A and B are shown apart, each in its own frame.
Chain A
Amino acid sequence: MKKMKKIFTVSTLRGLLSIILFVVLWQLVVFAKVPYLENLPYPKDVAVHGVEAVQSKTYWLNWEISLIRVFVGFIAAQVIGIPFGLAMGASKVFRDFTFSAFEMLRPVPPIAWIPLAILFWPTRELSIYFLVFVGAFFIVVINVLQGVSNISVSLKWAASSLGARPKDVFWKIMVPGSLPSIITGMTVGMGVTWNVLIAAEMIAGQGGLGRMTWEAYTNHNIPLIVVGMVSIGVAGYLCSMAIRWLGEQAMPWKKRF
C-alpha cells in the first residue's frame, strides 16, 4: 500500500504531464505544417507502426542482434580494460610504458575507427564488436586509473600497518577502492557504446536497430525511422539501468539507511 502511494508522487505526475505535453506539441507542429518539419509523421502514425513492429519477428531479431553486439564488445572492454587500468594504477613501470601511447590513441573518436575496423577484421560482425570495444575501452581504463589514484594514501598505509602484503593491498584496497570509478566508467562507456554501435550498424551492419532505422530511411518510411529511434533510446536506457543495478549490487556500502 505504501509503495503504491510512493509511485504517484507529485513529481511523477509532473513527469507524465511533460510527456503528454510533448506529444501534444508534436501533434501541433505536424498539424500546423511548420516549415522544414512538414514531413514529420503524426504521433498516431508512429504509434501504429510501432504496434506493427513489435508484433513482427524481424523487429525483435534486430533487438537481439544489437544487444549481442553491445554485450560482446562491452564485456570485452571490461575484461581487458579493468585489469589494464588496475595494472597502470598499481605499477609505475607499467604506467610509464603504456600511458603515452594510450593517451595518443584515446582522443581518436571511436567512429573514426570504422574504416580501419572494416578493413582489418575478417567479418563485419567482428569489426562491429571491435568498434563497440573501442568505444568503451578507453573510458573504462581512464576511469579505473583515476579510481586507483583517488584512493586515499592513508587507507593503503593503514592496511600495510595492519600487516597487509602488497598482494592484499591490491585485492582488498585498490580493487574495491576503485570500484565506484569502474562503475562510473561502465555507465559512461555504455552510453558511448550505443552511439558507436548505431553508427557502425548504419555504415557497415547487417541487421540491428541502427540498420533497421537506416533502412527505414532508404525506404522513405518516416514513421518507422521514429520507431527505430525510440527503440534505440529504450535499449540504451535499459542497458544503463542494468549497469546501475549492477553497481548497487557490487557496492552495498554506498547505500545509506
Chain B
Amino acid sequence: MAVSNGNSVMSKGNFGEVRLEGVTKIYEKEGVSHPVLQDCMLHIPKGKLTVLMGPSGCGKTVLVNLIAGYERPTSGRVLIDDTGVAGPGPDRLVVFQETALFPWMTVYSNVVFGCSVQGTPKKAIKEKAELILKKVGLYEFRDKYPSQLSGGMQRRAELARAMINDPKIMILDEPFRGLDAMTRQLMQEFYVGLFEEVGRTNLFITHEIDEAIFLADRLIIMTYQPGRVKAEIEIDLPRPREFHLLASPRFMEIREQAIDLLYEEAAKAFSSGSKAAYDLVGALVAQKGACKPTCTPR
C-alpha cells in the first residue's frame, strides 16, 4: 500500500486499470436463466474518470460486484492490472448505491475501519483520519453516528472511508442518487474537484446524463439485456470543471449524441416492461424535445 507523506492525504500514482474480457453473468431464477451481462468487453483506463451509463436494470451494479470481487462471472475474466480478481480487497473500494456506512460506528470509526482492521498503528491512523475528515468537511462531525448526518454528509463520509486507504481503483455506484437537486450538484462539484486533485482510476456509475457528462473523461453506454458496451464517448471538456459547463455548446453537443444512443436502449428496456426504464424513457423524451432548438444551431 502506498504510504502518504504527512500533508498529502492521497498519494499520486499507483493507479490501477480494469479489463473485462468476454464477461458473462447469468442468474438462475426458478430454473430459467437470465443472462444479465453477455460477452462484455470493457476497459477502464488508469487515472481516468470513466462513467458508465445505462438504463436501470441493465447490469451496472452486477458489473460493480464483479470488479469488486463480491461475485464471480459465469464465464470470462475480470482483470486488475492483468491479474484476475480473486475476491474483495482494499485496492478496489466501492461507494455503494445505498449508503453502506456502519450505523453503529461513529463517523471517525467508520473512516478508520479499513486501516484498523489492516493493523495500521493507531497514531498513523489518527493523523491520516483527521486530514481526510477535514478534507471532506466532516472533522466537526467525527463523533456523530451516520443516522445523525444529512445525506450529502453521509456520502462524503463514505468517500473518506474509501480514500483513506488510497485504493488503486474507486468504484462509485450511483452515489448521489436520492440526494436533493441542490446537494447533488454540490456533491458533483466536490467529487470532481477531488478527482482533479488526486487523479486515480475512477469508475462512476449513474443514469443521469448531465451528471455523467459533467464528470467523465470517458462515457460508456451499456445496452439492456444482454448487458454489453454499446458505445464509448471521449468527453473532451476542459478541466477543472465547474457548473457553467452545463450551458456550453460543446456540452449540449455531447449530450445530444449520448441521448440518441441511450434512447434506443431505454426504448428496448421500456418495451420489455421494466418500470425503471419507463421513467427513463419519459425523461429522455422530455429532454430530447426541450434540447432540440438549442442543440441544432447549424
Contact = CB atoms under 8 A, between A and B. Distances in A.
Interface of A: 152, 154-155, 157-165, 168, 172-173, 176-177, 179, 251-254, 256-257
Contacts of B74: none
Interface in B141-183: 145-148, 161, 165
| Residue from A162, A165, A176, A253 whose CB has the most chain B CB atoms within 10 Å | A162
Interface of B: 68-70, 87-90, 92-94, 96-98, 100, 102-105, 113-114, 117-118, 145-148, 161, 165
B145 A162 contact: no
Contact of B117 (A162, A176, A256, A257): A162
Which label, helix, strand, loop or mixed, suits the secondary structure of the A interface?
Answer: helix
14 contacts: A155-B100, A157-B68, A157-B94, A157-B100, A158-B96, A161-B88, A162-B90, A162-B93, A163-B89, A168-B117, A172-B117, A173-B102, A252-B145, A253-B104
Contact of A155 (B102, B114, B161, B165): B102
A251 B147 CA distance: 12
Contacts, number: 69
A152 B104 CA distance: 13
Given A154-B98, A165-B117, 9 more contacts: A152-B98, A152-B100, A160-B87, A161-B68, A172-B102, A176-B102, A176-B104, A253-B103, A256-B148
A161 B68 CA distance: 8
Contacts of B70: 157
Nearest to A152: B100
B214 to A, nearest CB: 26
A162 B161 contact: yes
A154 B92 CA distance: 15
B96 to A, nearest CB: 5
